[in-house]
Structure 1
């Protein structure tokens, strides 16, 4: 049977499509974020327009079934190179190859250089991407194929890094010139702390290995700005430009606007340093797995006893049915019952479910410490003694102990507290200073707004610190609500003091909204009689009886203009000090808001210091 006969509905085979020149090339730009210039294009192949083979997925699936994958890859490379030269494109041409296609190319790489020259594309302009579908059984034997490319002046890239077969092993052993980060890690990176940390780890390794990173799959402005501000130099995605037969020479306007944005990104997780976003707060359950055998429901109590005797350190046993946990048997509870007179004789051959907890605590190994911490606050405390069952997508993988859970939550909370306020989990002084330095270093305009609560101490004295904590958490929620998480940074200095670093253009309206929302909402924390009286009776700092009004919010704002040239006179400490001065003025203002320029505030501070 011929290849054409093997195609459904009489459609042409891949070999025939290549021979008939029915395949076309499209080009997607790869953009250098510095100036928004197009570094080069990735050449992609398409089947006949309007046919079932137009999409590359369908085309390569057909080639795989017909044993023509390598032939299609080589043909696609020639078609893309020819079209690239005919279009007069500048910059690099990125072409995709599987490991098999590269090995086959090695034997004929001189022929490849010949057709590149015939197409008018110099070898130095070519970047060969190893696709993620490539399975390399022996990297050592594959390395010569990469070496032959480099000898010809061709650069080598690792595609879709972080998924499938694109692994750290390949990065270390093949030392690519370019690494393209898979779109999974880039999509929604502006809002996902774990993706951000994963990409930052790739960035550190790229710096050590000398590879250039390309962020793939950029489809919105927020993700582009985060990637740009991380220091990744190159990007690719629909926002920057879609695959196009004519190879667009201009950067798409939304991308140009995003790259030219004068604000810097607030990195995900920075505005709310929860234990879930802390370095050790993810995949915590997986770290606590105690490998332990499980018993089927058909097991007897004698089987349980035998297993506990053979494994004296085992604190519990899981009972499973088709790999799914349905019960848990605690060692101490089981042994205490079994030690009673005649229990072994009476119950030894009975089903093990007789003494089992049929509703054990079951958690997924992907559960974070923050999610697991909720167990500590729940009414069900059985897991402290019994432990708990850990599963992977519902399938039993091991056990965990209450002791390990308490230890993990405590350790991560201590770690988070190093940089975050333990009450609100907002960033503390160190991250605040760091972000001010970033803003100053990037020479962007921003407003540093120092927030304080009037009459908070008398409220705390009257109602107690538990209720006072609720007011502080309410203030944090109000402030977070008025911030744009991609532009504005919210930190908790301590006590009832907060600091917002606004880059939003409508920052003043946001400040007024926060003051109004807090002043209205804070009334709910008072008893009815105090609300009717308009406040509470207490003592001032000197112990004198005083009547205090309601807790209200005051915000002092400092306008910080970008430094000119090499002039960066003010650092994070000076800016925070001027913001504190503005806060004191705001507390005396009827509206609760005071705005001052940084230069003016610094001059007032120096004059006051000189007077003192």
Structure 2
């Protein structure tokens, strides 16, 4: 037997089976979509879903990687991509018309002669969706070769209302160039940059660059592949807009909405990130006139004529906002040629803006500002509609939003610590007075670095600042993991911090702070060794380096407690902790009968 033929026959057989199986999938439309939630890191609401294609469950082409790789190899990528888009739209599970459906499109498909504008719109209309609900997510299975042509094609879709996302930023062939050339609405940060970001400073610095860039370009960032709470905490504190990953929801045919516990965690992390100084958009809500979507235009026009200061009105259906009509837009429509005769007796839903900016009352004012100011120039000064549990709550004007941001930034800059951005002494004292007034049990943890002067002298002030920032990070991370919704972290100054917590077992919080500190502090030594270190008096001491001393004062408030008592108890505990070689905490209860150190 010819050995070459003996080798070729199995390969030929496998190739034929693959071809037959793939052809069957295409002919029978034997693919389906699962949906993974994309969650807002401002209010914990589900912002949209990414549609992910799957082949038949028992097929070699079940994996989308194998499926699309084979289609690309055999020149059938467009046929598969078109089918995947239709399946994604057909099975769409959007809860309301403000949510988005993210649909993957290979960069190669853009150039395909069969990529005919209008085909996706036909599919959307068939299933009752609108282009403004769809985000084309450009995947980089291969690099984009002709950015000018790609930009021209995508601009056509943008004009219809579609939005554009660049996938796998930080891992693709040319994702940075794609961002620069295509000016996407969203950038999805690849899992490779997200994994363990809470312990990897290099990844953190790279992501900080993305955040700064996104703010300047009005781009929304989506972090992919989040699997751990620490990652979520860090990303929320860094100002990432949206998150996606197994921690928040797995890809499923009908994924459950994010749980209240998960939403509570995100709101808690957001509070920690803002240091308690940021406003939610609900704080700015003002009432506004509402009309049913079937109200006659003449009725709305007469309202504006009588109420000369009214700039707009919200159009609702069963108390759910479905549109916005601005005074200027309505009168411009009516004053056009034949406008009066065409519109006067028609219903308001014929001329309203069907896609105004609608946000939940919990969303941070700064994020709403970014969303509002990234709108087209025609809608830049339109009112922002605010909802509570998806029901109409009121509106906020652009002027009010920008003024509130200015006030918050001025207040934060005035009282926050400039190195860590954490609340300073003024806010710390406010928080302590508030808790003492409430007379509920709470705990105060004073944190202090041991031998920090030695570290500063040996490694320099820049490294010292980095160690201070690291300490601020681990305290906040520990609070996020073990603390409660109303906990607080402040920076007294230098290497002194304070944490205030309402949890019933604050000892666990101290243990978590020490664990995180010990786990990460070694990387600040750069591999150096030493025989001894020096304390502030110049005495030589055997030590492995900087340690963390914690003083835990539990205020039971069964009897009156004062700030002086808290400070006195903390000073004694700090002295005990400093006498101990290594990271440690000592605790004491005050405000209860018989309590003694």
Calculate the TM-score normalised by the size of structure 1: 0.50
- The counterpart of 2:242, out of the listed 231, 234, 240, is 234
Q: What's the CA shift for 1:212? A: 0.8
> 1 CA distance for matches of 2:425 and 2:142?
44
Q: Is residue 425–residue 490 contact of structure 2 (8 Å, CA) maintained in 1?
A: no
1:487 matched residue in structure 2: 478
Q: What's the CA shift for 1:119? A: 2.4
| 1:217-268 CA distance string (max 9 Å, x none) | 111111112212222221111111111112x24115663353244686699x
1:213 matched residue in structure 2: 221
> 1 CA distance for matches of 2:513 and 2:85?
58
The answer as to 2:199 corresponding to 1:191 is yes
> 1 CA distance for matches of 2:427 and 2:250?
33
Would the alpha carbon gap of residues 110 and 431 (structure 1) be closer, same or farther in structure 2, given more than 3 Å must change? same
Q: What's the CA shift for 1:32? A: 1.6
Q: What's the CA shift for 1:104? A: 3.0
Would the alpha carbon gap of residues 149 and 264 (structure 1) be closer, same or farther in structure 2, given more than 3 Å must change? same
2:367 matched residue in structure 1: none
Q: What's the CA shift for 1:485? A: 7.3
Q: What's the CA shift for 1:57? A: 1.2
Partner secondary structure for residue 243 of structure 1: coil
1:447 matched residue in structure 2: 444
Partner secondary structure for residue 164 of structure 1: coil
> 2 CA distance for matches of 1:148 and 1:242?
33
1:163 matched residue in structure 2: 171
1:173-192 aligned within 5 A: 173-192=181-200
2:506 matched residue in structure 1: 507
The answer as to 2:422 corresponding to 1:434 is yes
Would the alpha carbon gap of residues 439 and 30 (structure 1) be closer, same or farther in structure 2, given more than 3 Å must change? farther
Moved more, 197-206 or 248-257: 248-257
Partner secondary structure for residue 179 of structure 1: strand
Partner secondary structure for residue 108 of structure 2: helix
Q: What's the CA shift for 1:134? A: 3.5
Q: What's the CA shift for 1:196? A: 1.6
Q: What's the CA shift for 1:556? A: 7.1
| 1:149-202 CA distance string (max 9 Å, x none) | 111111111111111224322212211011111111111112212212211110
Q: Is residue 129–residue 158 contact of structure 1 (8 Å, CA) maintained in 2?
A: yes
Q: Is residue 105–residue 112 contact of structure 1 (8 Å, CA) maintained in 2?
A: no
1:251 matched residue in structure 2: 258
1:50-89 aligned within 5 A: 50-84=58-92
| 1:437-472 CA distance string (max 9 Å, x none) | 89969989873415598xx9xxx9xxxx99x99xxx
Q: Is residue 218–residue 235 contact of structure 1 (8 Å, CA) maintained in 2?
A: yes
> 2 CA distance for matches of 1:140 and 1:442?
56
Q: What's the CA shift for 1:69? A: 1.6
> 2 CA distance for matches of 1:97 and 1:441?
54
The answer as to 2:164 corresponding to 1:129 is no
Q: What's the CA shift for 1:83? A: 1.5
What is the RMSD of the two structures over their aligned residues, measured on CA atoms? 5.0
> 1 CA distance for matches of 2:426 and 2:168?
30
> 1 CA distance for matches of 2:220 and 2:257?
23
> 2 CA distance for matches of 1:252 and 1:202?
29
Moved more, 153-162 or 506-515: 506-515
Q: What's the CA shift for 1:500? A: 5.2
Partner secondary structure for residue 53 of structure 2: strand
Q: What 5-or-longer segments of structure 1 have no aligned partner?
A: 268-428, 516-538, 540-551, 562-574, 598-612
Would the alpha carbon gap of residues 146 and 589 (structure 1) be closer, same or farther in structure 2, given more than 3 Å must change? closer
| 1:516-541 CA distance string (max 9 Å, x none) | xxxxxxxxxxxxxxxxxxxxxxx9xx
Moved more, 499-508 or 234-243: 499-508
Query: What is the number of residues matched between the two proteins?
Result: 364
1:111 matched residue in structure 2: 119
Would the alpha carbon gap of residues 104 and 193 (structure 1) be closer, same or farther in structure 2, given more than 3 Å must change? same
- The counterpart of 1:148, out of the listed 156, 162, 170, is 156
Q: Is residue 132–residue 161 contact of structure 1 (8 Å, CA) maintained in 2?
A: no
> 1 CA distance for matches of 2:502 and 2:214?
33
Would the alpha carbon gap of residues 435 and 44 (structure 1) be closer, same or farther in structure 2, given more than 3 Å must change? same
Would the alpha carbon gap of residues 439 and 227 (structure 1) be closer, same or farther in structure 2, given more than 3 Å must change? farther
Q: What's the CA shift for 1:209? A: 0.4
Q: Is residue 26–residue 245 contact of structure 1 (8 Å, CA) maintained in 2?
A: yes
2:390 matched residue in structure 1: none
Q: Is residue 46–residue 55 contact of structure 1 (8 Å, CA) maintained in 2?
A: yes
Q: Is residue 478–residue 512 contact of structure 2 (8 Å, CA) maintained in 1?
A: no
Q: Is residue 446–residue 499 contact of structure 2 (8 Å, CA) maintained in 1?
A: yes
The answer as to 2:91 corresponding to 1:100 is no
Partner secondary structure for residue 486 of structure 1: helix
| 1:336-356 CA distance string (max 9 Å, x none) | xxxxxxxxxxxxxxxxxxxxx
> 1 CA distance for matches of 2:48 and 2:18?
39
Q: What's the CA shift for 1:435? A: 5.7
Q: What's the CA shift for 1:42? A: 0.8
Q: Is residue 558–residue 582 contact of structure 1 (8 Å, CA) maintained in 2?
A: no
Q: What's the CA shift for 1:60? A: 1.3
> 1 CA distance for matches of 2:91 and 2:576?
68
Pair member with larger Rg: 1
1:323-472 aligned within 5 A: 431=419, 434=422, 436=424, 447-449=444-446, 451=448
Q: What 5-or-longer segments of structure 2 have no aligned partner?
A: 1-11, 275-416, 436-441, 459-463, 480-488, 515-536, 538-547, 558-562, 578-584, 592-597
- The counterpart of 2:56, out of the listed 48, 61, 66, is 48
Q: What's the CA shift for 1:502? A: 6.2
